Amino acid sequence: MRRTFSRSSLLHRSATALALAALACSAGAHDAHHHGKPTGKNDPHTGGIRSAPAPKVKPAFDIFHTRISTEGNTAVFHVAVSGKAGATRPARSGKLAGSAVFSYVWPTTLDPSTVGFEPKAGILAFAVTSHPDFDDTPLFDENGDGNPANDGDVWHSHWVVLQPDDACGKGKLKVVDIPEGAKPRLPKTWPGLPILIDSPGWHPHFSGQTLEVKVPFDDIGAVQAASFDGVAAVLRVNASVHAPLLCVPDVMKVASGDLSLPGKVNR
């Protein structure tokens, strides 16, 4: 698909950096952290980013370890929390407008074109989400009931492209909107929403404190060269269901503490 909106609509890198800093600060971003240091002989949470506990954060979102590693042409997105991963999901509100999306997110330095979006369209992030008030995975029947349109509350995966937009709140991020009439390049599993989101169907696996997702890539070298961070956040659908459609107003925990994307793949 060919892009029809201009590059001038994209924000400069400096604005993005400021938004990342504001996002981190909104999460109380001064937790101590270190990178790649094991805590014991049999500790499964080695490499990546280790984070200090945050007692004020709900245990299911209190990230203490974030990692991306590779196995052949597959990337393994890993996060561990102080409670049970995936145990807390949003309450159903009965309407799309204003509804909440609970998310575990890996912001990366990967170019969005790696997964099928326009080059340099924003910050490419992998996300695992739950939202009972709408379904955005029309190709997949996560709850196995024969209806692929009623299982948004089941944890599932997305690629999203993020940019800062003060319409979501001072210094906040949004999932990039697609203007009416625009035809940007999109992944084959784009779910039809007017935002830069992909619903690839990669299955999240929860086990106790840990969440992992295995994602195959055509070019695993691009992943191996990338940096990343980890975020637990609440996204919210705009009350007017209009651009910006999906904002990131509430960050519960940032793995690095400052959203500097210090994690290195396979380290």
pLDDT digits (tens, 9 = 90+) for 121-137: 999 999 999 999 999 99
Residue 105, both tokens:
């997110």
Q: Which of 40-44, 80-84, 99-103, 185-189 has the lowest mean pLDDT?
A: 40-44
Q: Which domain holds residue 11?
A: 7-37+46-88+95-264
Q: Does residue 247 sit within a domain?
A: yes
Residue 116, both tokens:
């099928």
Q: Quote the pTM value.
A: 0.87
What separation in angstroms does the CA of 49 have from each of 68, 73, 131, 262, 263? 10, 22, 27, 8, 6
Tracing tokens 């904002």 back to the chain, one arrives at 247
Rounded Cα–Cα distance for residues 108 and 126 (Å)? 8
Q: Does residue 104 sit within a domain?
A: yes
Percentage above 90 pLDDT, the chain: 80
pLDDT computed for residue 44 by the predictor: 73
Q: Does residue 107 sit within a domain?
A: yes
* pLDDT score of 247 more than 90: yes
pLDDT computed for residue 246 by the predictor: 97
Q: Does residue 2 sit within a domain?
A: no
* pLDDT score of 261 more than 90: yes
Residue 195, both tokens:
């935002």
pLDDT computed for residue 45 by the predictor: 78
Q: Does residue 244 sit within a domain?
A: yes
Rounded Cα–Cα distance for residues 63 and 46 (Å)? 14
Give the residue-averaged pLDDT of 66-91.
97
Mean of the per-residue pLDDT values for the chain? 88
Q: How many domains does the chain have?
A: 1
Residue 241, both tokens:
């269901």
Q: Does residue 184 sit within a domain?
A: yes
* pLDDT score of 163 more than 80: yes
Q: Does residue 233 sit within a domain?
A: yes
Percentage above 70 pLDDT, the chain: 84
Give the residue-averaged pLDDT of 56-70.
97
* pLDDT score of 97 more than 50: yes
pLDDT computed for residue 43 by the predictor: 66
Q: Does residue 206 sit within a domain?
A: yes
